[in-house]
Amino acid sequence: MSATTFTRGGTPYTPTYADSIDSKKCIGCGRCYKVCVRDVLTLIDRGEDDEIDDDDWDDEDAKAMMTIKNPGDCTGCGACGRTCPKGCFTFVTA
């Protein structure tokens, strides 16, 4: 079930909640973190276990990646996905 709500002007819209971030694509730039006003995201170091040999990883120098720390606080504004230059985010509507 999606959580349809309304704009101030009364137009219905469906929030899109941040559900996952593709660690293989993330370059740790922090753009998404800066636009999120709900403290949902956090930047973490890539540990030994997170090192990726995959061809999909765009920036082998990236030492950090973004994760979803507080998924329950997301309002579904979608700003993080709009600002991400690598298309890392996946969203859900409920």
Residues that bind ligand SF4 (CB under 6 A): 18, 21, 26-32, 35-36, 38, 40-41, 66, 74-80, 83-84, 86, 88
Report yes or no: 14 and 8 within 8 Å, Cβ to Cβ: no
Neighbours of 35 (CB within 10 A): 16
Task: Select 12 or 79, whichever has its Cβ closest to ligand SF4.
Answer: 79
Of 64, 3, 76, give the one whose Cα is nearest residue 30: 64
Task: Select 38 or 46, whichever has its Cβ closest to ligand SF4.
Answer: 38
Rounded least distance, CB 11 to ligand SF4, Å: 18
- Cα–Cα distance measured from residue 64 to residue 75, given in angstroms and rounded to the nearest whole number: 25
Rounded least distance, CB 72 to ligand SF4, Å: 10
Task: Select 46 or 75, whichever has its Cβ closest to ligand SF4.
Answer: 75
Rounded least distance, CB 53 to ligand SF4, Å: 19
Of 92, 86, 94, 93, give the one whose Cα is nearest residue 32: 86
